[in-house]
Amino acid sequence: MGMVLGVLGSGSGSNMQAILDAIEAGTLDARIALVLSDKPDAFILERAKRHGIETGVIDCRGFQTKFPEEAQAETAARLRDAGVELVCLAGFLRLVKSPLLDVFPQRILNIHPSLLPAFPGLESWKQALDAGASEAGCTVHFVDEGMDTGPIILQEAVPILPGDSAATLHARIQVLEHRLYPAAISQVSRGWKA
């Protein structure tokens, strides 16, 4: 039986869809048991429901960007109760700290649209363009207490082309993300089972 995944997301869930596609194609031996979002109207919840996956909303106590400790403890409990072994952040826009990290140490992954450690934080593809970088890309990494600072699992570059806009660059990075995230999950899963 494959790795049991839990997904946290705030948006459309395209990376979760890529994970589901890899599972259905047989290239990733895993199962998504639970999808949680801090936004009740996030499309990621609709995507999960269409695949018969249990969903829930994280109560962040009215905070716009903060992830309060009580909410993290509730999230950890729901993930644990669902049998989740590995937590995947898929466009989740809040910083994960304790107690969630305490319950899932080195068991939370994130995908970030830059070649970390370059350009952490929001809209990193725009940061790369503004800095005149020659390449951008994406990184799958373990989550730690910092912002996009955890140990890197997989990373791949895309060239920044003449005439690239933020939108065209981001679109190329997303294609890469959708291939890299399932591959990284598979690599982590094999490492644990070894």
4-37 pLDDT, tens digit each? 999 999 999 999 999 999 999 999 999 999 999 9
DSSP string, 132-161: T-SEEEEEEEE--SSSS-SPEEEEEEEEPP
**32 touches 20 (CB < 8 A):** yes
This prediction's pTM: 0.95
Please report, to the nearest 10 degrees, the dihedral formed by the alpha carbons of residues 40, 45, 47, 49 taken in order. Answer: -120
pLDDT of residue 194: 41
What is the arrangement of strands in the sheet containing 54-57, beginning at the earlier edge strand?
54-57, 30-37, 3-9, 86-90, 108-112, 135-142, 152-159
Which phi and psi angles does 118 have, rounded to 5°?
Answer: -70, 140
Beta-sheet pairing, 54-57 with 30-37: parallel
What residue ranges of the chain have pLDDT lower than 70? 192-194
Q: What residues are annotated to the active site?
A: 112
May I ask the CATH class of domain 3-193? Answer: alpha beta
CA distance 137 to 71: 32
